[in-house]
Amino acid sequence: MAQVSLKDVSKIYADGIAAVDKISLGIENREFMVLVGPSGCGKSTTLRMVAGLEEISEGRIYIGDKLVNEVPAKDRDIAMVFQNYALYPHMTVFENMAFGLKLRKYPKQEISKRVIDAAGILGIKALLNRRPKELSGGERQRVAVGRAIVRKPLVFLFDEPLSNLDAKLRVQMRTEIHKLHLRLATTMIYVTHDQTEAMTMGDRIAVMKDGIIQQAADPITIYDSPVNKFVASFIGSPPMNFMLGRIIKKDGKLYFDEGKIIVRIAEEMYKKLNPYAGKEIIMGLRSEDIYDKLFVSSATAENVVKVTCEVVEPLGSEVYLYLNTGKHTFIARVGAHDRPPINQDMDLVFDMSKVHFFDKDTEVTII
Ligand code: ADP
């Protein structure tokens, strides 16, 4: 069993600033947990504290049932894969992968078996006699993962392992690490700033900002029900659109008035939005929940808005429209063959059953 548990864990560096601020997180046995957030939010520091590479200022970390605060890194039964791979240049791939086992005085035969098994899993058997400089970026990455696998650790830690690879290889390695997790069925903690990696790989995602976990949940919950505007904006590509406006009450009905455009609010949202009548509020809408009216039969005048289409960006499978209300710019994702004329007004439909609302001051989710 290798669950990992962080209880009120902080890291305060010499400058007195909390890089990690009292975070608590439980990672289940065999779970793939992704820590995601912008640069400097404390992801790496958190991972390094789990690894034992960074002292814990406050709180407790458990691996399995064991409190590891005072346990040195080498005795924690974890293996870490770094962004820069940290391979030994003078050693062959075999020697690089075998190194950790040799240090731990494993018998030669056992080392050989483990290295060859791992090389088989990763498809690098043919490279075992090469040195790192004779490998491509993707191959080096595999060796770094291989070096972690041979240890058969309780927990794997990954610190931005794909960020040095080109876009195509990154997507390929993403799938491979995913498959590896299914095959090894080991607890993994994976740090990235890339929301796509987080969404596609994680059983659960912990979204961090300023040393604090904003939300930890499965990817779909994070995407559909973000707890605040930061999470809503960080997860999803293109990011969620936001508009500042006012809730208006007229003849018992609620509307969102953006200044230039007005849309009617769905009745099921009245209960939560009534207290905001007359007040400013932030509305959020994902780009896939906005349609070109030409292709919608069920639109009513109250969810149709007239806006200017400034840029049409065809991506092959879909088209991004860059739109302007006169007060806010936003993006809609429409069908692959939609080509509205640019710098002209067009009618769009907002799917008002999908909108989110955030408190203007606290940015906490209302709906
Ligand atoms: P992330 O991995 O999310 O990019 P880090 O965990 O590396 O963030 O860093 C979190 C914060 O701690 C940042 O503000 C960073 O500048 C600071 N920090 C990281 N390492 C040190 C250090 N050794 N000394 C002082 N501050 C540090």
Ligand 1 atom having least distance to the Cα of 39? 4
- For residue 115, pLDDT beyond 80: yes
Query: pLDDT for 5-40, tens place per residue?
Result: 999 999 999 888 899 999 999 999 999 999 999 999
Ligand 1 center–CA 13 separation, angstroms:
8
* C-alpha distance from residue 65 to each of 2, 35, 348 (Å): 8, 22, 55
- As a whole-number percent, the residues of the chain with pLDDT over 90 amount to 85
Q: What's the CA gap between 130 and 123, in Å, rounded?
A: 14
For residue 253, the Cα-to-chain-centroid distance in whole angstroms is: 38
Report the DSSP pairing between strands 304-314 and 262-264: unpaired
pTM tops 0.95: no
Question: Which of 257, 250, 246 lies closest to 279, judged by CA?
Answer: 246
Q: Given this model, what pLDDT does residue 233 score? A: 97
Residues 319 and 333 sit within 8 Å (Cβ to Cβ): yes
Evaluate if residue 172 carries a pLDDT over 90.
no
Burial class from Cβ neighbours inside 10 Å (0-12, 13-18, 19+) for residue 302 reads middle
What's the pLDDT score for residue 126?
95
Q: Taking all residues of the chain, what is their mean pLDDT, rounded to a whole number?
A: 94
Cβ atoms of 79 and 104 closer than 8 Å: no
> Which residue did the predictor score with more confidence, 169 or 119?
119
Q: What is the position in ligand 1's atom list of the atom closest to the CA of 44?
A: 2
Please tell me if the CB atom of residue 16 comes closer than 6 angstroms to any atom of ligand 1: no
Q: How far apart are CA 227 and CA 230, in angstroms?
A: 8
First to last CA, the chain: 38
**Best mutation site among 10, 23, 39, 45 for ligand 1 pocket (most ligand atoms within 8 Å of CB):** 45
* pLDDT at res. 25: 98
Q: What are the tokens at 156? A: 């794997």
Reported as a single tens digit per residue, the pLDDT across 43-101 is 999 999 999 999 999 999 999 999 999 999 989 999 999 887 789 999 999 999 999 99
Ligand 1 centroid from CA 17, angstroms: 10
Q: Which two tokens stand for residue 40?
A: 């400097």
Atom of ligand 1 nearest to the CA of 160: 2
Q: pLDDT tens digits, residue range 144-155?
A: 999 999 988 999
pLDDT greater at residue 299 or residue 185: 185
Q: What are the tens digits of pLDDT across the range 311-348?
A: 999 999 999 999 999 999 999 999 999 999 999 999 99
Q: Is there an atom of ligand 1 within 6 Å of 19 CB?
A: yes
**Residue 157 CB-half CA count within 13 A:** 22
| Residue 210, pLDDT score | 96
Q: Relative to the CA of 35, which ligand 1 atom is closest?
A: 3
The pLDDT tens digits for 268-292 are 999 999 999 999 999 999 999 999 9
Instruction: Verify whether ligand 1 is closer than 6 Å to residue 41 (CB atom).
Output: yes
